[in-house]
Chain A
Amino acid sequence: MRTDCPDRPHFRLPNGGEIVSRGHLACPGCGIMPAIRFAMKVLGRRTVIVAPACCYAVVDGPFPYSAAGVPFLHSAFEAAASFASGVRAGLDTTGVADVTVLAWAGDGGTFDIGLQSLSAAAERNENMIYVCYDNEAYMNTGIQRSSATPRGAWTTTTPKGATKTERKKDLGAIMAAHRVPYFATATIAYLEDLTRKFAKARDLGGFRMLHLYAPCPTGWKADARHMVELSRLAVRTRVFPLYEVHDGTRFEVTLDPETAPLRDYLALQGRFAEMGDAGVAAMEDEIRDRWEILQRRAASSGRA
């Protein structure tokens, strides 16, 4: 049967009640929350969360409170994957091997300071799910540039007149090069895709990673109400394609909705206010480039 929401065909809420609780400290319209909420619905209560310094570490609540609903270990900024590796080892050696270890880190803790420990855990094929929720800058500290910040974006360390000139790291390629069993991108506008990927990750073993695109209205100078809209437009403009990679070699685009003009996406965000026509054209080129690379990888996997 057809549903009236083409972006979420046949979407069924995962079973079970809410695990994450209300009263958390996320900004209005935070793109992390629907993601963690549904991730937890899929993964269930036999999950341990490890989170490094990041927005979510604050969002979860101050002592003596926590919104997580499951055990939650705060970790040092650069070491989420290592903390999580230790937790995995500790659980396995104390007889609770059936508990899922979920590392939940921001882009700073993943693309930048945490990349070393992440790479090592991936190389060891640690049995965990590592999620990078990517809001494209250091938001918790007040919007500083990270290597996940896109070219042309304003941040407080790439200020007006000196917006970022470097391109964003290709995290998917980095993780694929580690030949991890599973890597996928996902974002909350496409919840069915997102929950399906979490379920897939849950049911696989070894190192599984999800790269979540999590709009940050605060840091992107956008209207909070546009959080899901930004998530959707990021996919429709191919700023953030939805794909997955098995074993680092089999690429598959999982969802390729009707495309939308890049300007629709940029217009909702103050951080791109300075981007002129040339900047937009350059970004379009970059997006096309990356899309073609992805298409080639998918094609060579026989899964275009």
Chain B
Amino acid sequence: MKTEPDGRVTFTGEADLPPVAMSFASTAYNKTGSWKYLEPYHQDLTPPCNSVCLAGNDIVNVMRRIEAGDLREAALLLLETNPLPSVTGRVCPHPCEKPCNRKAMGGAVSIRALERFLGDWAAREGVLPSPVPEALAPGDGRSVAVVGSGPAGLSAAYFLRRAGFSPTVFEAARETGGLLRYGIPAYRLPNGVLDLEIQRLAGIGVRFETGVRLGKDFYLHDLATRHAAVVLAFGKNATRGLGIPGENLKGVWDGIDLLARAKAGKPPALGGEVAVIGGGNTAVDCARTALRLGGKATILYRRTRREMPAFKEEIEEAIEEGIRIEYLAAPVSLSRRPGGGIDLRCVRMALGEPDESGRARPVAVPGSEFTVAVDAVVKALGEGVDLGIVPENLRKGEWRVSCDERRRTPVDNVFACGDCAGDEGTVADAIRAGREAAHAVASTLLDRPYAPPNLTRDRGASAEVAKFKRFNRAYFREEAGVSPSHRPASERRADFREVALPLGEEEARAEAARCFKCGTCVRCDNCHVFCPDMAVTKTARGYEIAYDYCKGCGVCVQECPRAAIHLRRAP
């Protein structure tokens, strides 16, 4: 009797055979893998939330860590992509929740509320992203100037620092934060929250210079000579006018100015009937601010609610608080009203053909003019970028700095991101833009071949988005989530304290547990335990399939709760 290297047992003849049918070896010699025509493989898919997060957060894996109670690990993971989680956890319109697969079984996971919970926890605990680049390789501590301390500038500085550079952020205002500090009312984003986030940046070595304005206190040329690179990240710094008679009357306020003064605790006296003109977040914020200052606010918008660019939630909260919205109305002129106040002359609009933005173009209805008597008018039509502060060759059109897809401006080693570079969008979008700019700076200064950032690829996930229909529903129960509670409208309209209330830790963990972890292997062991052929083994990193033995039954694929295993044709 001889045992071959492959485990086979052979006999030379009768003399060699045992007297009875008995075994001398395991069946491991028998490579049953040859039976299969399909074979399974583990491959994480992109969770729908991750697929739409502009900040690029690995939401599902953050959820896993919150669920497990590893808040520090969760925070560190979140800080990998998001330098401002307490901010986005409050003001992001959370597109991540919209495609959430949990929606069908108890409602989408409250991802934003969890982000706020985690961001606040991290701020309270003073969690710094890890590792903090002490040695400063590979950026080697080279200095980079960042102009503007709004979300894009903060993000660019954060990621530059983490890449080993020494960024200095130049801010024209007395305090950092840009739009976050001056443009978002305290009931949505208190300054204390922002301060802690910026403190974290300072904590890893980002330097700030405030009260210095590009184009006045220094010029781009100065920065370019003193720093290895410059990132332009300034925001919208000019309000659009109404372009109608009487817009400079006393009692007519600039929306951005109003919000800034209110946030700084020095609001103008605003009372009586206040008309807010516009349909964006600034308009809604102005109306809610006016309300909190004692006014009775009405928003005038020339289209309908469907076209309003303000976040849906913002609008809802405003209506809850008693704000009136006059749709399909546009101002025609303003005039002083005898005996005080302002006559606001308006015209009715109707929706016509779509314009270049794709929204229906409002058309004035002839003869439909009407006049409203108000005490104040707030102009909130939107803001623009004042390009006067940069050299002419950097301007592209009226409102943006010229830059290519690698965020390079026509001037060597000068990059741009954020509102000034046309990244008009949310804070999350600004975070993405800042990260891209940092990435571009690093590849240029380190002379690396440029490849666009791809977080999905870096995480080893496929770009395919995990669909609920491929999940094994047996592993999930219908379960209602926590809906982040709000203070009652009657109470909140009286002050500037936050509207949304925070989640407690238990609540947060329960909510994170509701997350399906779509398309993401969570080491549930189903593939390992149910494999009839014991072909799926556990490894330090996950699972390994012994294709020599896998018969291709597909049980592992079927029993994977969340579509992280797939079948392909066997070779």
Direct contact of A and B (CB under 8 A): yes
Question: Is the pair A29, B532 in contact by a Cβ cutoff of 8 Å?
Answer: yes
Question: Is the pair A21, B28 in contact by a Cβ cutoff of 8 Å?
Answer: yes
Q: Which residues of B contact A224 (CB under 8 A)?
A: 553-555
Say whether B312 faces chain A, with CB atoms less than 8 Å apart. no
Most buried by A among B18, B35, B551: B551
Question: Is the pair A191, B23 in contact by a Cβ cutoff of 8 Å?
Answer: no
Most buried by A among B24, B27, B558: B27
Say whether B450 faces chain A, with CB atoms less than 8 Å apart. no
Say whether B534 faces chain A, with CB atoms less than 8 Å apart. yes
Bitwise, A16-40 to B at CB < 8 A (1) or not (0) is: 0010111111111111111001100
Chain B contact residues, majority secondary structure: loop
**A38, closest chain B residue (CB):** B529
Say whether B9 faces chain A, with CB atoms less than 8 Å apart. yes
Question: Is the pair B29, A4 in contact by a Cβ cutoff of 8 Å?
Answer: no
Q: Which residues of A contact B32 (CB under 8 A)?
A: 22-25
Q: Which residues of A contact B525 (CB under 8 A)?
A: 13
Say whether A155 faces chain B, with CB atoms less than 8 Å apart. no
**B538, closest chain A residue (CB):** A13
Say whether A7 faces chain B, with CB atoms less than 8 Å apart. yes
Question: Is the pair A61, B27 in contact by a Cβ cutoff of 8 Å?
Answer: yes
Say whether B335 faces chain A, with CB atoms less than 8 Å apart. no
Q: Which residues of A contact B551 (CB under 8 A)?
A: 27-29
A223 to B554 CA separation, bound complex (whole angstroms)? 9
Say whether A276 faces chain B, with CB atoms less than 8 Å apart. no
Interface of chain A residues 89 through 109 with chain B (CB within 8 A): none
Question: Is the pair B22, A64 in contact by a Cβ cutoff of 8 Å?
Answer: yes
Say whether B132 faces chain A, with CB atoms less than 8 Å apart. no
Say whether B546 faces chain A, with CB atoms less than 8 Å apart. yes
A193 to B420 CA separation, bound complex (whole angstroms)? 62
Say whether B539 faces chain A, with CB atoms less than 8 Å apart. no
Question: Is the pair B26, A67 in contact by a Cβ cutoff of 8 Å?
Answer: yes
Say which residue of A3, A23, A29 sits within 8 Å of B31 (CB atoms): A23
A217 to B356 CA separation, bound complex (whole angstroms)? 59
Question: Is the pair A229, B558 in contact by a Cβ cutoff of 8 Å?
Answer: yes
Q: Which residues of B contact A191 (CB under 8 A)?
A: 529
**How many whole Å from B195's CB to the nearest CB in chain A?**
35
Q: Which residues of A contact B529 (CB under 8 A)?
A: 13, 34, 38, 191
Say whether B321 faces chain A, with CB atoms less than 8 Å apart. no
Q: Which residues of A contact B27 (CB under 8 A)?
A: 21-25, 60-61, 65-67
Say whether B517 faces chain A, with CB atoms less than 8 Å apart. yes
A55 to B517 CA separation, bound complex (whole angstroms)? 39
Say which residue of A7, A22, A27, A28 sits within 8 Å of B534 (CB atoms): A22
A64 to B308 CA separation, bound complex (whole angstroms)? 78
A13 to B30 CA separation, bound complex (whole angstroms)? 26
Say whether B15 faces chain A, with CB atoms less than 8 Å apart. no
Say whether A69 faces chain B, with CB atoms less than 8 Å apart. yes
Q: Which residues of B contact A258 (CB under 8 A)?
A: 477
**How many whole Å from B257's CB to the nearest CB in chain A?**
50
Question: Is the pair B534, A26 in contact by a Cβ cutoff of 8 Å?
Answer: no
Most buried by A among B9, B517, B555: B555
Say whether A302 faces chain B, with CB atoms less than 8 Å apart. no
Known interface pairs A37-B534, A67-B26. Does A228 touch B513 (Cβ–Cβ under 8 Å)?
Answer: no
Most buried by A among B21, B531, B558: B558
Bitwise, B553-565 to A at CB < 8 A (1) or not (0) is: 1110111010000
Q: Which residues of B contact A18 (CB under 8 A)?
A: 534
Say whether A278 faces chain B, with CB atoms less than 8 Å apart. no
Most buried by A among B524, B549, B553, B559: B553
Question: Is the pair B553, A29 in contact by a Cβ cutoff of 8 Å?
Answer: yes
Bitwise, B413-441 to A at CB < 8 A (1) or not (0) is: 00000000000000000000000000000
**How many whole Å from B562's CB to the nearest CB in chain A?**
8
Question: Is the pair A63, B474 in contact by a Cβ cutoff of 8 Å?
Answer: no
Q: Which residues of B contact A69 (CB under 8 A)?
A: 26
Bitwise, A57-76 to B at CB < 8 A (1) or not (0) is: 00011011111010010000
A13 to B22 CA separation, bound complex (whole angstroms)? 31
Q: Which residues of A contact B559 (CB under 8 A)?
A: 228-229
Question: Is the pair B524, A4 in contact by a Cβ cutoff of 8 Å?
Answer: yes
Question: Is the pair B553, A22 in contact by a Cβ cutoff of 8 Å?
Answer: no
Say which residue of B21, B25, B555 sits within 8 Å of A227 (CB atoms): B555
A111 to B32 CA separation, bound complex (whole angstroms)? 31
Question: Is the pair A29, B554 in contact by a Cβ cutoff of 8 Å?
Answer: yes
Say which residue of A2, A23, A28 sits within 8 Å of B30 (CB atoms): A23
Question: Is the pair A34, B524 in contact by a Cβ cutoff of 8 Å?
Answer: no
Cβ-closest 6 pairs across A and B: A225-B554, A23-B30, A23-B27, A66-B23, A29-B553, A28-B553
A-B contact pairs, 29 of them (CB 8 A): A4-B522, A4-B561, A7-B474, A7-B475, A13-B529, A21-B28, A22-B32, A22-B533, A22-B534, A23-B28, A23-B31, A25-B30, A26-B532, A28-B35, A29-B553, A29-B555, A32-B532, A34-B532, A64-B18, A64-B22, A64-B25, A65-B23, A65-B25, A65-B26, A66-B25, A66-B27, A69-B26, A224-B553, A229-B474
Report B's interface with A, CB cutoff 8 A. 9, 18, 21-32, 35-36, 68, 472, 474-477, 510, 513, 516-517, 522, 524-526, 529-535, 546, 549, 551-555, 557-559, 561
Report A's interface with B, CB cutoff 8 A. 1-7, 13, 18, 20-34, 37-38, 60-61, 63-67, 69, 72, 188, 191, 217, 223-229, 232, 258
A sample of 13 more A-B contacts (CB under 8 A), given A6-B477, A227-B530, A228-B555, is A22-B27, A22-B546, A22-B549, A24-B533, A29-B554, A33-B534, A37-B534, A63-B22, A64-B9, A64-B23, A65-B9, A228-B530, A229-B474
